[in-house]
């Protein structure tokens, strides 16, 4: 075996042998490799892009005076590009992330109003196989639009439009919305654009109540224009809306009953100033509605006319309400007059005979009739009409009551008078049948006496 020193010397001699030629061969090989590399996979500069990330945006809300990143949506949709040099294969395999970090936002933010701040863009990625060009990030900075977060009370208004179904009514006085104001929390720019919040309800064709719960109202600016409310604006609560819709109906009050007034006086009439009232209520309450009564008026010692009012609400059934809240009374007018008596003489020729079936003769020449009536009624009685009805009477002499035609507010004092009437034998109508004349024998014709024979039989 060859000693180790001799072996090392042999390798050294071989390495140094023809060294200049070996160096030339290495340079030629490297040049060939570089030429092949640039011919098959050439090196090139490329821009690689990625969407910008906004990291730790929540830290803005943790400040003593919280702020809002107003252009957050704009930023996260912005592309950031970085220029690199390498082969297409290596560039395609490149993954980068572009971001801004707001964890130190309290250092950037200057208090007091909306602020625009520029921050640098960070880019990270697997740049091992490509060369990142100097100052190659574009854009290298982005502008943050920062806005103070404020809270403000805003009024809530409620409106409805459209007509409810025919036969139904919307009661405005009972319509409610709660709460009347809301606290809005969000960027000052968005909050200050809002003048009031509006709730609108479509009542067209409705026949039942409207109930809206957890409703988010719309926003209106000072000019009355609707403005969009961003999703990041917080409401202190939701709005609850109630709009009652009832069925319409009509209630009727019957005539007022009353007792007799003072002796010698009577009631001419009792009239209501208003008998019918428009009402509303549930469908069942309207369906079961019937005419209503007031209590009986006590007229014991009254001798003059008077009026008495009734509050209609006190007589309405449960669940029934007046449509016109201002028209809630009706008045009964009681007209009281003294009672007068007067005696009238009725002659037999003034009596009308009805139901006549035969010739009749009134034997009573005249009768007196005493009538009691209210003063105004008595003034209209000049001569009462009188009649008798012979429909159910046969031949002979009869005592028949006299019918006196008097007004409703009058009455006959005592027993009604009667007449003595004789109904004769002759019929009072034309007989439609023709009878032969009575037989009259000729004086020249001999008279023959006929004898009739009767055959007796045993009974």
Nearest alpha-carbon partner for 325 in 110, 206, 174, 189: 174
For 7, 21, 22, 89, 231, the CA distances from 16, given in Å and listed in that order, are: 15, 10, 9, 40, 79
Q: What is the pLDDT of residue 193?
A: 93
Q: What is the pLDDT of residue 446?
A: 53
Given a contact cutoff of 8 angstroms between Cβ atoms, the answer to whether 100 and 120 are in contact is yes
Q: What is the pLDDT of residue 441?
A: 56
Q: Which two tokens stand for residue 29?
A: 């090989």
- Distance in angstroms (rounded) separating the CA atoms of residues 96 and 48: 8
3-state helix, strand, coil in the chain (%, to 5): 15, 45, 40
pLDDT tens column, 383-440: 899 999 998 888 889 999 999 999 988 999 988 899 999 988 544 444 555 555 555 5
Q: Which two tokens stand for residue 50?
A: 């990625």
Enter the pTM of the model. 0.56
DSSP character string of 362-383:
E---EEEEEEEEEHHHHHT-SS
Q: What is the pLDDT of residue 174?
A: 86
Instruction: State which CATH number among 2.170.120.40, 1.10.10.60, 3.20.20.30, 3.40.50.970 fits the domain covering 149-243.
Output: 2.170.120.40
Question: What residues in the chain have per-residue pLDDT under 70?
Answer: 1-19, 33-41, 105-114, 357, 425-459
- Distance in angstroms (rounded) separating the CA atoms of residues 179 and 240: 7
Q: What ranges do the domains of the chain cover?
A: 44-139, 149-243, 339-427
Q: How far apart are the first and last CA of the chain?
A: 195
- Distance in angstroms (rounded) separating the CA atoms of residues 64 and 62: 7
Specify the residue for token string 């709660």: 178
Q: For the domain bounded by 339-427, which CATH number is listed?
A: 2.170.120.30
Q: What is the pLDDT of residue 427?
A: 47
- Distance in angstroms (rounded) separating the CA atoms of residues 237 and 183: 8
Q: Which two tokens stand for residue 207?
A: 């026949």
Q: Do domains 149-243 and 339-427 have the same CATH topology?
A: yes
Given a contact cutoff of 8 angstroms between Cβ atoms, the answer to whether 69 and 145 are in contact is yes
């Amino acid at each position: 075996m060859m000693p180790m020193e001799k072996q090392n010397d042999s390798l050294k001699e071989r390495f140094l042998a023809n060294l200049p030629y070996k160096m030339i061969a290495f340079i030629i090989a490297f040049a060939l490799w570089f030429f092949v590399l640039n011919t098959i996979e050439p090196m090139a500069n490329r821009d690689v892009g990625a969407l910008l990330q906004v990291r730790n945006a929540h830290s803005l809300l943790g400040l003593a005076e919280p702020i809002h990143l107003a252009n957050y949506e704009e930023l996260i949709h912005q592309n950031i590009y970085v220029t690199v040099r390498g082969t297409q294969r290596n560039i395609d395999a490149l993954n980068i992330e572009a971001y801004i970090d707001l964890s130190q936002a309290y250092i950037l933010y200057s208090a007091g109003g909306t602020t625009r701040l520029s921050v640098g863009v960070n880019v990270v990625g697997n740049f091992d196989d490509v060369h990142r060009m100097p100052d190659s990030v574009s854009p290298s900075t982005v502008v943050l639009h920062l806005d103070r977060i404020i809270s403000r009370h805003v009024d809530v208004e409620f409106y409805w439009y459209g007509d409810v179904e025919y036969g139904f009514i919307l009661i405005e006085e009972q319509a409610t919305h709660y709460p009347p104001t809301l606290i809005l929390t969000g960027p000052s720019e968005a909050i200050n654009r809002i003048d009031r919040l509006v709730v609108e309800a479509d009542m067209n064709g409705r026949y039942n109540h409207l109930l809206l719960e957890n409703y988010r109202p719309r926003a209106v600016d000072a000019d009355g224009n609707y403005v969009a409310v961003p999703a990041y604006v917080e409401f202190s609560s939701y709005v609850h809306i109630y709009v009652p819709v009832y069925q319409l109906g009509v209630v009727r009050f019957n005539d007022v009953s009353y007792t007799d007034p003072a002796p010698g006086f009577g009631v001419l009439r009792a009239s209501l100033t208003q008998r019918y009232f428009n009402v509303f209520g549930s469908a069942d309450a309207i369906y079961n509605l019937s005419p209503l009564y007031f209590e009986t008026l006590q007229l014991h010692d009254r001798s003059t006319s008077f009026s008495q009012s009734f509050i209609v609400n006190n007589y309405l059934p449960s669940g029934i309400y007046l449509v016109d809240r201002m028209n809630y009374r009706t008045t009964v007018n009681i007209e009281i007059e003294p009672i007068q008596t007067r005696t009238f003489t009725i002659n037999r020729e003034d009596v009308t005979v009805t139901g006549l079936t035969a010739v009749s003769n009134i034997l009573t020449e005249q009768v007196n009739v005493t009538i009691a009536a209210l003063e105004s009624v008595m003034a209209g009685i000049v001569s009462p009409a009188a009649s008798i009805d012979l429909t159910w009477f046969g031949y002979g002499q009869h005592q028949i009551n006299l019918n006196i035609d008097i007004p409703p507010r009058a009455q006959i004092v005592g027993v009604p008078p009667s007449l003595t009437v004789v109904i004769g034998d002759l019929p009072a109508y034309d007989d439609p049948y023709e009878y032969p004349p009575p037989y009259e024998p000729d004086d020249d014709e001999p008279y023959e006496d006929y004898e009739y024979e009767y055959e007796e039989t045993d009974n």
